[in-house]
């Protein structure tokens, strides 16, 4: 089975721009979660989608949003980028009613 894939792998943006990141879960997985990793804050939960519905949400401003499509692929969007949004963005997927999360390779975002 193919693992979790994320695109793009690297991204450079400037302040004020917006960005969309994509995550394709493992086949059959319906839950997709997003995390932000920075040196200062560590790994922090952004949100989780299950069957196209946001099921859990972390403590991030409204500039961070996401969605999930009927094929379980998920996108997250960050609008009006700030320097502090520079981070590794990781997504994870899990099978229904199983708790084990499998992570993708991440997208490294640099905001200049």
By CB under 8 A, tell whether 10 contacts another protein: no
Residues in contact with another protein, shown as a per-residue x/- string from 41 to 80 under the rule CB under 8 A: -xxxx--x-x----xx-x----------------------
Query: Cis peptide leading into 8, omega within 30 of 0?
Result: yes
DSSP string, 37-103: EETTTEEEEEEEEETTEEEEE-S--TTEEEEE-TTS-EEEEE-S--GGG-EEEEEEEE-TT----EE
How far out from the chain centre does Cα 26 lie? 14
Given candidates 5, 37, 65, 86, which one binds another protein under the rule CB under 8 A? 37
- Give the nearer residue to another protein in terms of CB position, either 50 or 75: 50
User: In the set 23, 64, 94, 111, which binds another protein (CB under 8 A)?
Assistant: 94
List contacts with another protein (CB under 8 A): 31-33, 35, 37, 42-45, 48, 50, 55-56, 58, 88, 90, 92, 94, 97, 99-106, 108
């Amino acid at each position: 089975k193919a693992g979790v894939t994320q695109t793009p792998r690297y991204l450079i943006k400037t302040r004020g721009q917006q960005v969309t990141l994509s995550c394709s879960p493992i086949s059959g997985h319906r839950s997709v979660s997003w995390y932000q990793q920075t040196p200062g804050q560590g790994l922090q939960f952004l949100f989780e989608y299950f069957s196209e519905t946001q099921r859990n949400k972390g403590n991030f401003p409204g500039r961070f949003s996401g969605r999930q499509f009927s094929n379980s692929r998920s996108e997250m969007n960050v609008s009006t980028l700030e320097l502090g949004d520079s981070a590794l963005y990781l997504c994870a997927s899990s099978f229904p009613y199983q708790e084990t999360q499998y992570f993708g390779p991440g997208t490294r975002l640099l905001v200049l």
